[in-house]
Amino acid sequence: MTKRLFSNTFVLALLVAGLTMTGCKSVPVDIMSMTAPDSLQTNQNGAFSVETNADAKQPVSVSWAFGDDETASGSSANHSFGEPGTYTVTATATNRKGKSSDMSTATVVVVNPPVPAQIVSIRASDNSPDTQTSVRFTATVNGDAPLSYAWSFGDGSSSSDASPTHTFAEPGTYTVQLNASNRAGSDSRSMSVTVDWYEAAICREVTELSSAFFDRNSSVLSDEGMAALGDNLEILAECPNMNVRVEGVAAPGERRPQELSEDRARAVEQYYGDNGIPANRMVTVGNGRAQDLTSKKDGLAQYRRVDTIIVR
């Protein structure tokens, strides 16, 4: 009887000991999930965190290694990267003073922030060209590639070249504009170009044009007069920047000298106009009866004329 009682007491003790050991069992730490950004820009803060199993033996500690020689601790951390690259971020969770641990990693791609297009300067090879001079336009533009260029020359022409050339067909002051753009943004800048008519060497050398002479009391151009004006036309056509004053003169003894001088001047003006010289390049004047002797032609015939005077 005594022996059986001892046996039951021993079994009960073993059961109690087993229950005690089971209740004190240490649960290892496991990282259940990890949150990290896939990509960041340089110097941009990213949020990193892990979640461990709730039944892990406490205390649980988490350490971070960001792959750039920087570290942190805690279940969550913020971090930024100073240089572009691909970084492996490692989170390590431990408990029971390092006797149990788990590890998780994430890859973060770090890039430089996008740089929008910015025009530093625009230049022209000639800011005062003539109508036969080709002008090259260049620009200094900062920003991420690829860069797009849109030039407008102010005369209806345009170009998408980075460094275009352009010839202005008409004189005037033009506003040349560049718009540069990329995926991050755009910028615009403009400049002025003043264009003159092309002037051949002869235009600077000629100081006097031929006079047209008329028959007495007549304002009708003779063949001789038209031949003289034909020489003038060649020069005026080659020198579009040259303007003239058309002055008619009547000789002493001619009828209605003022009216006659005006009619002669208009006849020459019409001849020039009919042959392509714009009216805005001419001023027509009738000087009436000549007052002073000239050496244009012998005798009174020298007064029956129209002078074409260059206006600079």
Whether residue 228 is found in the same domain as residue 290: yes
Instruction: Assess if residue 144 is contained within a domain.
Output: yes
Which of 111, 137, 165 delimits the end of a domain?
A: 111
CB atoms within 10 A of CB 213: 19
Whether residue 76 is found in the same domain as residue 176: no
The whole-number pLDDT of residue 298 equals: 56
Total domains present in the chain: 3
Structural domain span for residue 173: 118-195
Q: Which residue, 261, 245, 250, 253, is CA-closest to 303?
A: 250
Q: In tens digits, what is the pLDDT along the chain, a chain of 312 residues?
A: 444 444 555 444 444 444 444 445 689 999 999 999 999 999 999 999 999 999 999 999 999 999 999 999 999 999 999 999 999 999 999 997 678 899 999 999 999 999 999 999 999 999 999 999 999 999 999 999 999 999 999 999 999 999 999 999 999 999 999 999 999 999 999 999 999 988 888 888 999 999 999 999 999 999 999 999 999 999 999 898 899 999 999 999 999 999 999 999 999 999 999 999 999 999 999 999 987 655 455 567 789 999 999 997
Predicted confidence (pLDDT) per residue in 106-117, tens digit: 999 999 999 999
Instruction: Assess if residue 189 is contained within a domain.
Output: yes
Asked whether the beta carbons of 133 and 126 are under 8 A apart, the reply is yes
Instruction: Assess if residue 4 is contained within a domain.
Output: no
CATH code of the domain containing 78 = 2.60.40.10
Whether residue 207 is found in the same domain as residue 307: yes
Q: C-alpha angle with apex 212: 210 to 213, nearest 5 degrees?
A: 135
Is residue 8 classed as helix, strand or coil in its secondary structure? helix
